[in-house]
Amino acid sequence: MQTTKAKIRQFIESELITKSDTSSLEDHDDLLMSNMLDSLGVMRLVEYLERMNATKIPPEDITLENFQSVNKIATYLSAQVGQTALGK
Amino acid sequence: MHSGDSESGVSGGLRLASSAASEVRVKLTQSQIKMWLGQKLNPYSPMYNMALAFHLAENTDYDLFAKTWQQLIEETPILTSCVQDGLEYPFLCYRQNQELTLEYVDLSANSDQGIHDYLQARAARRFDIHKYMVDSALLVTKSGPIWYLNQHHLITDIWSCTLLYQRAAEIYNSLVTRERLKSRPLADFRQYVLWEEKVRKSSEYQSAIAYWQSRPNDEAVMTTIASEDSSTTASERVSVHLGEARSTLLSEKAMTPGVRTFSLQLSELNLFLTALFTYLYRVLGKNNPVVGLIFHSRDTSEMKRTVGPLIETCLVGVDMQPGETFDSLHRRLSAETLAALRNLKPGISAYTINRSYDVVLNFITAEFADFCGRPAQAEWIHSGHVDANHQLRLQVHKLNKGDSFNLSFDLKECGYAQANGKRIVDHFLHITDRMLDDFTGSIDSFDLLSNVERRRQVVSFNQTSTATLAGKTVVELFAMQVERTPHAQAVRCGNRVLTYRQFDDGVNRLAHRLIQRGVAIEDLIGVEAGRSIETLTAIMAVLKAGAAYVPFDSTLPSGRQQQYLEGMQTYRGNRKALVLTHTNSARTAFSRLGAEVVDAASVTMAGSDSKAELSPRAGTGNLAYVLFTSGSTGQPKGVMVEHGNLVNYLVWARREYAIGEQLAFPLFTSLSFDLTATSLFVPLISGHCVVVYPDRGERSDLALFDVLAEDAVDVIKLTPSHLKLMVAGPYRPVRLKKMIIGGEDLKSSLAQQAFSLMRERVSIYNEYGPTETTVGCMIHRFSKEEDLDESVPIGRPIANSQIYILDAFCNPVPTGVIGEICVGGAGVARGYLNAPELSAERFIQHPFLDTARMYRTGDLAKWDGSGRIVLIGRADRQIKVRGFRIELGEIESVIESHPEVQQCVIENMLPSPTTGSNQAISHCIKCGLPSNYPNAALDSDGICKVCRVFEQKESMVKKYFDTSGGLKKLAKRIIADRSGDYDCIVLFSGGKDSTYMLCKLVELGLRPLAFTLDNGFISQGAKANIARVVEHLHVDHTYGQTAHMNQIFTDSLERHSNVCNGCFKTIYTLSTQLARRKGIKYIITGLSKGQLFETRLVDMFEDDIFSAEQIDNYIDAARKAYHRMDDAVSHCLDVEIFKTDDVFRELEFIDFFRYCDSTLADIYDYLANRVPWIRPADTGRSTNCLINDVGIYVHRKERGYHNYALPYSWDVRLGHKDRSAALEELDDEIDTERVESILNTLGYRTKDPGQPASKLVAFCAAQLKDCSILDAHVQQRLPSYMQPDQYVMLECLPLTPHGKVDSQRLRAQVVTDKDGKPRGTEPKTPVEARLCDIWRELLSVEAVGTTDSFFELGGDSLLIVRAVAQIEREFDVRIELTKFFEAPTVQMLGAMIDGILLNEVMDLGINPTLRT
């Protein structure tokens, strides 16, 4: 789990946002309402997560609830993995 | 294969080697090319200027600011770049040490308005993009300095402007504080260009393109206004601040559950989009609007610091649904924007370049930061121009911190959006408020009109209440007139004249006779209606008897007469229809049709009946007449008009037209035409004289010439078609004082012509009104000075009438919006005879007056800016062609604008029903091939063409197959060549055929490696089979897979409407790679014989190629081309090995069933007894694959037949299975829900094959023989979908007896012509032939006709550039890009090149005839 979060953090920090000063991204930081990520940034993040997990994230899952913070994304992903496993 | 990891580098692509970014020139990006092209087409327009004015602090140090500017341009090289048009590609050119000074302008003496004007003017200065693209100045004003910064959009966007402003602030600050700058310079655009190029090679990009290409063909938001000028870029900006309260409300709404997305900005965008779509639908009348959405494409943090045009345009469109609410519309639009964002990649703008959209929403998220602690005060200055194709651009922004939403509507000058003018703000805000207030409410039901508009259109316009002679009927008015002027002339026909008294006597006699026969009030009596005094007498007598008359034209075909009589009989409770005749022939004819005939002649001649005046019988609420009009269903509609309706018109018309002494009105038009009521009744109730011009056979125009030649009338009522004849004819009557035109749209040009021919001494009235509202309900007196539009206005409602333009929900439409003319008031007829349902549909409850009714005319119109009604055309003349809504009248007016054309009528000819798609599908009686398979050509015996060809060639065809002992020979050959662990790869899908093949090969002693592609949809049952079979056979097995299967499926559906093609290619590609890795020399396929025919053999046999060697050579060559083709497989998989021929030399592909003749029954039998293979229950028809059904579903839907139809028919022909088994296999039951959900996941939308195309035929009365001149005229003025498919040249257009153009007779002209004959598409000159070749090559299409448009065939901007370059090389002729757009067909371009070449030859003084 820790690695997933770390990967997400790393992707966001290196690709999507300009690192301001020294403060680094925390897992509970609000990515969306703070405008840290814009809509296109979220799309790139979704693409990255899809590649990382070799899975599809359906449009209806791209919500504030699932993507607001690194923590929430990780929770969503683990739930999704669980669902897929059940489905198979 | 690409691994997932290597691709994740894509988004990190900005960190490319910095040396790559030092290129002095880079190709323009796709977005830039769009703008470059737009600028090329409008070289003098400043439409791409991005001008901003920043108000700076008063204490700004000018010198330091100049230094700031200097440093900014030094470190931001794109600011000094320029464009270079390469031969094949335009470039952005970077220049070293380019000067770009900051200009000082002292405006300290100027007023605020003066400064504003200065900024406007400066913002409209155009850039020469080949020299420089930035203009920067420091303006000194009373209220402090202003930094003016204007840039060409080619090198910037609004986001870049915020970057530049912020950077300038940083630099300035460092200069003031003398501290080193901490931050890096802004990122270089060239990095982005390189990145874009890289992205365009990625698989994600391919799937994004697949998404954009799969979008349904966009509905044009084309205008229906003919006077549109697409060449101007001039536009007007109307801006409004939403205000704090509304802005807050909107942002709050955006974030409520059910509305919100994952981000505030996207949620806000979706709301603005919903309001915009509602506006387009409600105000601009678009049922399926398409909007270009502008997004930035700044993916990464680096890109967010890049100066350059990093924007893309995506198209978003939805069809408005019945019962649409804001909520439902918002839901679908949100899904659209999310899908658009997911597929937003740099360069996708290329896929919108030639699509039709003319409305743009630019939701800007950029915001200007502080300048040295001072909040930004940025002002965006409109250059006064927009892209020529854009009718409406809405920019939503909050450029300065703390702003509320600012909406800037850029309205193209003279465009349809501008026609609505500044009201756009009112309407848009009204819609926005409504949306925020009642989100779940209907978007249809609320009233959009402002109070002012409502008052003007609904109330003031219809202030028509006038005293009528209440309670009087036409009978009473006539009787009063007889009393007033008994000796005045009432009727004249030739030399025969009757005074009012004399005429009335005859009428009374006949009326008494009718009453004696039991004629009652509300009864219907037919009247033989040849124009004569007898007919007039009969009509008046019927009315006096209290009944209603039904005129029967002498020219009416007997079938039509029969229909009228049946209608009357039904109305009379099945009593025989009663007809008054006065000629023998009519008496005989009506008797034969079963009517009861009353001979009027015998009555009036005999003179025995009483001529005493009758007391009035019918009242105003009783029927006066029934006129039959043609209905669209072919069944005539009888319009029931009451006395009250008629009298209202007549009294009004008497006042309008009949003031004067002893005027004469000619009766020369058919009495069954309601227009004629004016000439008949108006004189008789006002003491004037009706001059009867008897019938001259079928042609009403001859009677017109009689009228004109005699020159004995004062007031004439006629149709525009008549007026045309009059203008063209030799007669110039001098007595005529008034001309009342009705029945058709009156063109201003015609009215002008008539007016001057009559030496301007007549009054011309344009009267509008359907039969259902009684003769005329609107009137306009033509004015030579004012009526300069295309058509003469139809004016204002007549007395006691109301005219509204309403939408489908009976809301009055705002100005500029097309709606239906609805008529209320005293003229609204009772309804249709015996047709209560039709009556209820057209005669509806009056929406504004409780007790009244209103008639929906089916005529389309709109309000113009000055409060006049502009007639657009018939609702049923608005048709859809390839999804475009078009107005036939618009095409007509364009054709009529050609000087050689007098008149044109466009008919939309539907295909004859025999070729329609609804035809029942039959199957070839031999092989089962369906009749709708392309070229199946079932003959009269029910046998398809393929079977017929096969009959002849069967013995030759069978030679290719080597089924007796071939398999053993083959096995021997492979074993002899043995090396390594495996002899061959067997393509083993786990289905029945390949299982059988694998078993057989093992039986023959081969050591195969079984290969299965796991396409993600192999069923569990099939996998279990695979596991069991390979274990049973002791065969090694491997699965191949790829992460890109879904893209491959989508691409396959796109190209072939099935999934199998993509799957097959993946199998071949992966198994070939596997064979190479393992050193295996043979790959054995399990293609059925049918599939072999379908994919390889059919074409060759048709070309009589039968030798196995020849066929193998062909297949070999085809295989190479197959693997080198550009498609999803070649993008997603590693296809390097196919680039050289080595792999094809080293590896042999063998088709098992070429050597094996087992039947379906044999195979099932074998599998049942020898192998642990169980038919899976989970795959539908297929025995292994879950996605197979998707392909079948899509193929059937898009192409109309099963994708296995052809291979199965071959299986039947070759005796592999019988016809019934094949048909049964083709009769799949498909789980549509499951299939749709898979399609959804794939993001694939099935295309609607649509109805067979109808044909637009232009009938032209013209002196031209050659329609190509007209064709060229039209091609320059109308989009391709509006161009007629065929022209029919006639001397004049046939008219109906009513004097309107006779469309039935027109249509008959085409039926006798050879239908569907293609126009001259073969090249006729060497230049045309060569141009066709060039196009074929560039566009990769099979055939190019000389009249096909380059863009229709898929030409895009780059291809134009290449085409122009190629033309220059081949013909040594330079064609300007703009010219290319003007001449998009081979024919037009060829003519242009010929012209240029000819000129050159002439210049050289060489005799041009030598050129041949």
* Three-class SS of B659-723: CCCCCEEEECCCCCCHHHHHHHHHHHCCCCEEEECCCECECHHHHHHHHHHHCCCCEEEECHHHH
The per-residue pLDDT for B11 is 38
The candidate with the shortest Cα–Cα distance to B461, out of B874, B875, B873, B864, is B864
Structural domain that includes position A11:
4-85
The candidate with the shortest Cα–Cα distance to B139, out of B214, B86, B60, is B60
Q: Which residue of A has its CA nearest to B4?
A: A51
The candidate with the shortest Cα–Cα distance to B500, out of B516, B515, B481, is B481
Strand pairing report for B103-106 and B134-141 = parallel
Half-sphere exposure of B910 (CA within 13 A, CB side): 8
**Nearest-angstrom CA–CA distance, B530 and B670:** 8
The per-residue pLDDT for B604 is 52
Mutation site for A-interface testing, chosen from B192, B262, B302, B1017 by largest number of A Cβ within 10 Å: B262
Sheet holding B1036-1040, edge to edge: B1036-1040, B1008-1013, B984-987, B1082-1085, B1148-1151
CB neighbours of residue B1323 within 10 Å? 19
B885: CB partners within 8 A, 6+ apart: B219, B220, B222, B224, B287, B878, B879
How close are the terminal C-alpha atoms of chain A, in Å?
22
Q: Which residue of A has its CA nearest to B258?
A: A63
CB neighbours of residue B174 within 10 Å? 17
Q: Which residue of B has its CA nearest to A19?
A: B301
Mutation site for B-interface testing, chosen from A15, A38, A40 by largest number of B Cβ within 10 Å: A40
**Nearest-angstrom CA–CA distance, B321 and B316:** 16
Kindly calculate the radius of gyration of chain B based on its CA atoms and give it in whole angstroms.
39
Contact A40 B335 (CB under 8 A): no
Chain B touched by A20 (CB under 8 Å): no
Inform me whether the pLDDT recorded for B1231 exceeds 80.
Answer: no
Contact B297 A40 (CB under 8 A): yes
Specify the residue for token string 């929906």.
B856
The per-residue pLDDT for B73 is 93
- Residue B442 is given by DSSP the state B
Helix axes B1386-1403, B1357-1371, angle to 10 degrees: 30
Chain B touched by A7 (CB under 8 Å): no
Chain B touched by A36 (CB under 8 Å): no
Query: Worst-scoring range by mean pLDDT, B11-15, B1137-1141, B1201-1205?
Result: B11-15
Closest by Cβ to A43, choosing from B301, B305, B344: B344
Chain B touched by A40 (CB under 8 Å): yes
**Nearest-angstrom CA–CA distance, B1303 and B1294:** 8
Contact B262 A62 (CB under 8 A): yes
The per-residue pLDDT for B688 is 97
Q: What is the mean pLDDT of residues B567-595?
A: 92
Residue B1392 backbone dihedrals phi, psi, to 5 degrees: -65, -45
Contacts of B12 in chain A (CB under 8 A): 14-15
Higher-confidence position of B1374 and B1100: B1374
The per-residue pLDDT for B729 is 80
Task: Count residue pairs from A and B with Cβ separation < 8 A.
Answer: 76
Closest by Cβ to B264, choosing from A33, A41, A63: A33
Contact A38 B365 (CB under 8 A): yes
Chain B touched by A15 (CB under 8 Å): yes
The per-residue pLDDT for B1407 is 44
Chain B touched by A42 (CB under 8 Å): yes
Inform me whether the pLDDT recorded for B1107 exceeds 70.
Answer: yes
Mean pLDDT for all residues in chain B:
84
Answer for the pair B1156, B1000: CB distance below 8 angstroms, yes or no.
Answer: yes
Instruction: Tell me what percent of the residues of chain B surpass a pLDDT of 70.
Output: 88
Closest by Cβ to B265, choosing from A19, A38, A64: A38
Most confident of B88-97, B212-221, B1117-1126: B88-97
pLDDT band at B796 (very low <50, low <70, confident <90, very high): very high
Which CATH number fits the domain that encloses residue A32? 1.10.1200.10
Q: What is the mean pLDDT of residues B1195-1224?
A: 82
pLDDT band at B1382 (very low <50, low <70, confident <90, very high): confident
ipTM of the complex: 0.92
What type of residue is B77? P
Strand partners, B535: none
Contacts of B1016 in chain A (CB under 8 A): none
Tens-digit pLDDT profile for residues B645-673: 999 999 999 999 998 889 999 999 889 88
The per-residue pLDDT for B1156 is 87
- Residue B439 is given by DSSP the state T
Class of residue B310 by CB neighbours under 10 A (exposed 0-12, middle 13-18, buried 19+): buried
Q: How many domains does chain A have?
A: 1
Contacts of A21 in chain B (CB under 8 A): none
Inform me whether the pLDDT recorded for B316 exceeds 70.
Answer: yes
pLDDT band at B919 (very low <50, low <70, confident <90, very high): very low
Contacts of B365 in chain A (CB under 8 A): 38
Q: What is the mean pLDDT of residues B1284-1301?
A: 79
pLDDT band at B1179 (very low <50, low <70, confident <90, very high): low
Tens-digit pLDDT profile for residues B837-854: 999 999 999 999 888 999
Tens-digit pLDDT profile for residues B296-307: 989 888 899 999
Q: Which residue of B has its CA nearest to A48?
A: B8
Residue B292 backbone dihedrals phi, psi, to 5 degrees: -85, 120
**Nearest-angstrom CA–CA distance, B1073 and B985:** 11
Residues 293-332 of B with CB under 8 A from A: 295-301, 304-305
pLDDT band at B1410 (very low <50, low <70, confident <90, very high): very low
The candidate with the shortest Cα–Cα distance to B1046, out of B814, B820, B843, B1238, is B1238
pLDDT band at B935 (very low <50, low <70, confident <90, very high): low
Token pair recorded at residue A36: 């840290």
In the three-class reduction of DSSP (H, G, I as helix; E, B as strand; rest coil), residue B827 is classed as coil
